[in-house]
């Protein structure tokens, strides 16, 4: 492909271990595909009618699907939670750096100056802190990360190495990830220029459609190479190199893709949508971003299969947070306003629902709310685990699991003891036909306030601005429309105490 003319594929090696390994003596490889802002309603598995996602759906069909999986409320805390095994409710849990600093590279600041600035702002990791990549390394794995690197909003190669990544390729700045035509990316701390991409902001576009915005998006001057294509070439090349090296060590690969996070940008509209009169041009472009993600999942699986790695590779597919509406257009879609009453949602008695704001994709799968909220639509995510012949095909688990459980789940699967002093608990036994011990509750934060969901489905959400606690019972109230705090004051008191304790209040 043409990207190889620009980027030489660096080599690296890999392969994985032991919870209940059926007929396997060698530790399995593990690939974690981490979609960005992918509401589960965008997938065929959950009933999506417009966008066909056969490759992701096949992972769900041939593996185990978790019906009650939780991420976080937006990108940075979700990634920090995943990589540390800690929830995001505690105050000052992480030091989140400011994004955008890498737009200054060679525009008034050197790489060293930028790194020094980040290291000054960001508290260094504690000596005894254990990160996700380190868990794999301690189990004898070689580790690699591709795409939207770290938890943001800006990182350095030194931080990447401290967090356990032997190899890494992609963006060091999440603000730059909002554009898809980067003039440079990074590979193991080395700046890799992308000839033909000339926009300092990576050609970031607008979130709302106008004639001017449409014209800007499709002005392809300085947009030679799309970031997902570049990153996929590196990722697939890595797998090739691993196979060729016949390395004995298993590999853990983490792929935090930009897709389908907006602002919307795509090199071309997918043929599935070009003549679909249900969609605006903006919606066709957004659908094409979801479609590209599905295609790339298929490319990864096909590559593993062709290299005879698939049978001993676990593939995990999930997302960082719930749905977000990017294809907004006056008179068509507005995520903040009920288009029936023309009133803004107050997030107490009224909240985003797809039919009220005309989200034609119903990306939050009929739930209330969007990204950054503590409604279920903002935090419930798709989660599928696939391992041919080892994880039961078609299995569905109702166990409530979270983003922050992945670290200790990986630890158990790779034959290690639980990492102590983490909020997350392993659910590995559930994956292999047993029953993992469930946490009594899951907690998550949001721009509105924190929330807690018990393992039985009782949910307490706090609306900080109005100092209001609301109670719901999710098994009987999927859309969170039956507020029960007055009916069950003792339940509110119990859950409130637990939630405030988790928040350190």
Is residue 10 pLDDT above 70, yes or no? no
Average pLDDT of the residues in 21-45 = 86
Average pLDDT of the residues in 25-32 = 89
pLDDT in tens, 444-460: 999 999 999 999 999 99
Per the DSSP assignment, residues forming a β-bridge with 144 are: 167, 253
Is residue 347 pLDDT above 60, yes or no? yes
Provide the 8-state DSSP code for 459.
E
Average pLDDT of the residues in 235-254 = 89
- Beta carbons of 376 and 453 less than 8 angstroms apart: no
Instruction: Name the residue among 215, 231, 146, 145 with its Cα closest to residue 182.
Output: 231
Quick one: tokens of 416?
């290690």
- Beta carbons of 351 and 110 less than 8 angstroms apart: no
- Beta carbons of 16 and 300 less than 8 angstroms apart: no
- Please report, rounded to a whole number, the percentage of residues in the chain having pLDDT higher than 70: 95
Give the containing element (helix H, strand E) for 184.
strand 184-187
Is residue 25 pLDDT above 60, yes or no? no
**64 vs 9 pLDDT, higher one:** 64
CA distance 452 to 443: 4
Q: What is the pLDDT of residue 86?
A: 97
Q: What is the pLDDT of residue 4?
A: 41
pLDDT in tens, 142-178: 999 999 999 879 999 999 999 999 999 999 999 999 9
Q: Model confidence at 124, in pLDDT bands (50, 70, 90)? A: confident
Q: Model confidence at 247, in pLDDT bands (50, 70, 90)? A: low
- Beta carbons of 169 and 96 less than 8 angstroms apart: no
Q: Model confidence at 20, in pLDDT bands (50, 70, 90)? A: very low
Q: What is the pLDDT of residue 93?
A: 85
pLDDT in tens, 296-341: 999 999 999 999 999 999 999 999 999 999 999 999 999 999 999 9
- Beta carbons of 325 and 41 less than 8 angstroms apart: no
CA distance 461 to 445: 10
pLDDT in tens, 461-505: 999 999 999 999 999 999 999 999 999 999 999 999 999 999 988
- Beta carbons of 288 and 5 less than 8 angstroms apart: no
The burial class, CB within 10 Å (0-12 / 13-18 / 19+), for 33 is buried
Q: Which one of 1.10.3720.10, 3.40.50.300, 3.40.720.10, 3.40.50.1110 gives the CATH number of domain 2-20+31-436?
A: 3.40.720.10
DSSP 201-256: TTT---SEE-HHHHHHHT--TTB-S-HHHHHHHHHHHHHHHHHHHT-SS-EEEEEE
Instruction: Name the residue among 177, 307, 289, 250 with its Cα closest to residue 16.
Output: 250
Is residue 13 pLDDT above 50, yes or no? no
**Order of strands, edge to edge, in the sheet holding 451-454?**
441-444, 451-454, 458-463, 468-473
Q: What is the pLDDT of residue 169?
A: 98
Q: What is the pLDDT of residue 11?
A: 31
Question: In sequence order, what are the residues at sequence separation of 6 or more whose Cβ sits closer than 8 angstroms to the Cβ of residue 158?
Answer: 115, 119, 189
**Cα dist from 486 to 92, 195, 329, 473, 491, whole Å:** 33, 62, 39, 13, 10
Is residue 14 pLDDT above 90, yes or no? no
Q: Model confidence at 246, in pLDDT bands (50, 70, 90)? A: low
Q: What is the pLDDT of residue 238?
A: 96
Find tokens 């929330």 and name the residue.
451
Q: Where in the chain is the domain with CATH 3.40.720.10?
A: 2-20+31-436
CA distance 107 to 98: 18
Instruction: Name the residue among 26, 5, 30 with its Cα closest to residue 17.
Output: 26
pTM exceeds 0.85, yes or no: yes
What does pLDDT average to over the chain? 93
């Amino acid at each position: 492909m043409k990207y190889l003319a620009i980027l030489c594929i660096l080599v690296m090696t890999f392969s994985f271990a032991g919870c209940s390994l059926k007929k396997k003596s060698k530790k399995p490889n593990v690939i974690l595909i981490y979609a960005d802002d992918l509401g589960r309603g965008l997938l065929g598995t959950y009933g999506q009618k417009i966008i066909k996602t056969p490759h992701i759906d096949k992972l769900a069909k041939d593996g185990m699907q978790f019906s009650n999986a939780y991420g976080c409320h937006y990108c940075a805390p979700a990634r920090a939670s995943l990589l540390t095994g800690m929830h995001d409710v505690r105050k000052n849990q992480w030091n989140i750096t400011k994004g955008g600093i890498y737009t200054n590279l060679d525009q008034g600041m050197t790489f060293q100056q930028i790194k020094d600035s980040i290291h000054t702002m960001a508290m260094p990791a504690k000596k005894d802190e254990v990160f996700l990549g380190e868990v794999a390394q301690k189990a004898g794995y070689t580790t690699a990360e591709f795409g939207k690197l770290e938890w943001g909003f800006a990182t350095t190669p030194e931080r990447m190495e401290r967090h356990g990544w032997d190899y890494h390729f992609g963006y060091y700045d999440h603000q730059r990830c909002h554009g898809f035509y980067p003039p440079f990316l990074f590979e193991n701390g080395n700046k890799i220029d992308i000839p033909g991409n000339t926009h300092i902001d990576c050609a970031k576009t607008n979130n709302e459609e106008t004639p001017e915005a449409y014209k800007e998006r499709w002005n392809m001057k300085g947009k030679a190479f799309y970031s997902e294509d570049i990153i996929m070439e590196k990722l697939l090349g890595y797998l090739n190199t691993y196979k060729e090296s016949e390395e004995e060590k298993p590999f853990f690969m983490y792929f935090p893709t930009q897709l389908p996070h907006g602002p919307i940008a795509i090199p071309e509209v997918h043929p599935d949508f070009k003549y679909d009169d249900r969609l605006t041009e903006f919606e066709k472009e957004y659908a094409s971003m979801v479609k590209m993600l599905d295609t790339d999942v298929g490319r990864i699986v096909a590559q593993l299969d062709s290299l005879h790695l698939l049978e001993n590779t676990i593939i995990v597919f999930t997302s960082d947070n719930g749905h977000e509406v990017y294809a907004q257009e006056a008179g068509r879609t507005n995520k903040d306003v009920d288009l029936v009453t023309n009133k803004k949602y107050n997030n107490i008695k009224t909240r985003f629902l797809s039919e009220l704001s005309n989200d034609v994709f119903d990306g939050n799968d009929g739930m209330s709310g969007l990204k950054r909220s503590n409604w279920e639509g903002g935090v419930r995510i798709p989660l599928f685990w696939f391992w041919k012949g080892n994880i039961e095909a078609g299995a569905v688990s109702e166990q409530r699991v979270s983003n922050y459980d992945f670290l200790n789940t990986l630890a158990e699967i790779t034959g290690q003891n639980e990492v102590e002093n983490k909020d997350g608990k392993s659910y590995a036994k559930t994956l292999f036909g047993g029953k993992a011990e469930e946490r009594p509750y899951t907690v998550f934060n949001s721009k509105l306030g924190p929330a807690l969901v018990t393992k039985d489905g009782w949910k307490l959400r706090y609306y900080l601005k109005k100092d209001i606690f609301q109670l719901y019972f999710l098994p009987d109230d999927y859309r969170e429309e039956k507020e029960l705090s007055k009916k069950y004051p003792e339940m509110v008191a119990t859950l409130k105490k637990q939630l405030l304790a988790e928040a350190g209040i």
